[in-house]
Amino acid sequence: MTRYQVVWKGPVKRASGLGSVSREYVRALRRQGVSTAVGTARKRSLRNSKRPRVLIYHYPPDTLNVKKERKHFNAIIINTVWETTRIPNRWRTPINRVDGVCVPSRQNKQAMRNSGVKVPIFIVPHGVNSRTFNPRNRKLPLKNANGRFIFVSVFGFQHRKNPEALLKAYWEEFSSKDKVLLIIKTNGYAPYQNERWIRNRMLTYKKRLGIRKKTAPVMVIARRLNSEKLRGIYTRGHAFVLPTRGEGVGLPFLEALASGIPVIATGWGGHMDFLTSKNSFLINYRLQSPVIGMNRKSSISTQFRYLFAGKGQRWAEPDIGSLKRLMRKAYKNPLLCKKKGRRGRLDALNLSWNRAGISLKKAVEKVIRNKR
C-alpha cells in the first residue's frame, strides 16, 4: 500500500453514469495499490495522521467547503467534468483554492484554462470495461428487426444531447421504404418525464416540423433496463448515433466502440480524444452560445439553463445536412460500418479503467510532491 491515503468523496452509490464513473475510479486506484477510503471514513485531524491524507472530491466544485476540508487533509484534488468551452463562473474560485483538478479530456483542460483556472490540471481519462461491453453480448430481442439496418442512441433526454437534430435528420432522410430502424434508449429528469411524456414530446415535434410522409420507424425505450438488456442495445445496432452539442467524455461512445459498432458523432467535445475517422463518422459543426438553441421553438428536452446559459459559454451545433449524409452513408455501407466497428473495438481495448487508475495515481503523487 502507498505511504499516503486517499479519501474519495463522490456519488459512488448513485445509479447513474456519474455514479458508475465514481465507483470505477475508486476501484482503479485500489488496483494500483492506493489506500482509498470512500466518503467520510475515519475522519480525524491531521495531528493524529501518520500518512499524508488526500481528498479527491467528485461532486460539483461549488459544493466543496475548502476551508473545512483543509483541517482534515494535507492535499485536496477536485475531479470533475464539463461540456462547454468555459466552466460555470461559480466553479472557478473553489477550484483555484485546492491543490489540483483532474479532468477526463483535452477539451476539459482547455475549458479550465479558458475560465481562469490557475492550479495544476491533470488529464485523467475515463475508461470502459471491454469485457462487460463486447461484440459477443446477446442482442436485445426485437420483433420485426431482421433485415433492417439499426441505428441505436443512448442518452438522457436533455437539450445538450440534441434529440431534436437526431429525430429531424432521421425523419427527413429515411422513409418507410428504407429498411431501417432507430432505437432510442433515454430517460427523463423528473417523475413526470416518463416514456409516454417523451413519446408525446417527439410526436408533437414531428407535427411542428410538418413531416407528413410515412417515416421509418423509431423505437423509444425510456424505462429502466437491466444491465444485460442495456448491453444488448449496442450489439443489436449497426451504428451508434448521437449528434451531441457537448460532452466531457461521452460514456455511451466508449461503450459502443467496445461493443464493436461505429459511432456517428459531432466532431467536437471530450470524445474526440478517442473517436477518429477510422472508428467513427464525424459530423460537421459550428461553435455557438447554448442559449441560441435553447430559445428555438424546436427545443423539446430539458435544458438545464442554470448550467449552460452562462456568459461566454459555447458548445457545438451539429450540421443537420452533415448528419443526414453520414446516416445515409452508414446505411448504404454496412461493410464500412463493420470495418469501423472492428477498429473501434481494438481502440477500446486500450481505453481501460486501469489506464485511468495509473493516470490518477500519478496526479495524486504529483500534488503531494508539490505540497512538500
- For residue range 286-333, list pLDDT tens digits in order: 999 999 999 998 899 999 999 998 889 999 999 999 999 999 999 999
CB atoms within 10 A of CB 87: 26
Q: Are residues 210 and 260 in the same domain?
A: yes
Asked if 100 and 71 count as a contact pair (C-beta separation under 8 A), the reply is no
Residue 315 in grid coordinates: 458548445
> Are 277 and 329 spatial neighbours (Cβ–Cβ below 8 Å)?
no
* Backbone φ/ψ region at 54: left (φ over 0), alpha (ψ -120 to 50), beta: beta
Residue 133 covered by a domain = no
Residue 49 pLDDT: 61
Asked if residue 219 has pLDDT above 50, the reply is yes
212 domain residue, yes or no: yes
Shared domain check, 210 and 119: no
Q: Is residue 348 helix, strand or coil?
A: helix
- Amino acid in the structure at residue 294: M
User: Could you identify the residue written with the cell 423528473?
Assistant: 190
Residue 56 lies in a domain: yes
Q: Tell me the residue range of the domain where 123 lies.
A: 5-127+353-370
pLDDT at residue 15, as a whole number: 82
Same domain, 226 and 292: yes
Q: Give the DSSP H or E segment for 229.
A: helix 227-236
Report how many domains make up the chain.
2
Cβ burial of 67 (10 Å; 0-12, 13-18, 19+) is exposed
Region 17-27: mean pLDDT is 93
CA of residue 362 relative to chain centroid, distance: 23
Strand-pairing partners, residue 150, are 181
Are the beta carbons of 172 and 211 closer than 8 angstroms? yes
Beta bridge partners of 137: none
Measured in degrees and rounded to the nearest 5, phi and psi for residue 135 equal -65, -15
**Cα dihedral 298→283→170→166 (10° resolution):** -40
Q: How many Cα atoms within 13 Å fall on the side-chain side of residue 160?
A: 20
Q: Within this chain, do residues 102 and 250 fall inside the same structural domain, yes or no?
A: no
Order of strands across the sheet that contains 149-154: 218-221, 180-185, 149-154, 239-242, 263-266, 280-283
158 and 183 inside one domain: yes
Residue 137 lies in a domain: no
Let me know whether 363 and 274 are in one domain: no
Q: pLDDT band for position 144 (50/70/90)?
A: confident
pLDDT at position 41: 52
Instruction: Kindly tell me the sign of the dihedral angle through the C-alpha atoms of 127, 131, 136, 137.
Output: negative
**CATH label of the domain that carries residue 29:** 3.40.50.2000
Provide the 10 A C-beta neighbour count for residue 236.
21
Give the bridge partners for 55, in sequence order: 7, 76
For residues 109 and 158, membership in a common domain is answered with: no
Note whether 39 and 75 are same-domain residues.
Answer: yes
In a domain, 142, yes or no: no
Same structural domain for residues 195 and 344?
Answer: yes
The answer as to whether 161 is a domain residue is yes
Question: Mean of the per-residue pLDDT values for the chain?
Answer: 94
Q: Could you tell me if 37 and 177 lie in one domain? A: no
> pLDDT category, 99, cuts 50, 70, 90?
very high
What confidence score (pLDDT) does residue 46 get? Answer: 47
- Cα 231 to the chain's mean position, in Å? 16
Q: 216 and 95 in one domain?
A: no
Consecutive H or E run containing 56: strand 53-57
Q: pLDDT by residue (tens digit) across 342-361? A: 999 999 999 999 999 999 99
Mean local confidence (pLDDT), 54-68:
96
pLDDT score of 145:
84
d(CA 279, CA 259): 12
In a domain, 280, yes or no: yes
Q: Is residue 67 part of a domain?
A: yes
Residue 26 has pLDDT above 70, yes or no: yes
Tell which phi-psi region holds residue 121, choosing left (phi > 0), alpha (psi between -120 and 50) or beta. beta
Residues 188 and 284 in one domain: yes
Question: Is 180 within 8 Å of 148 (Cβ atoms)?
Answer: yes
Q: Is the confidence at residue 238, as pLDDT, over 50?
A: yes
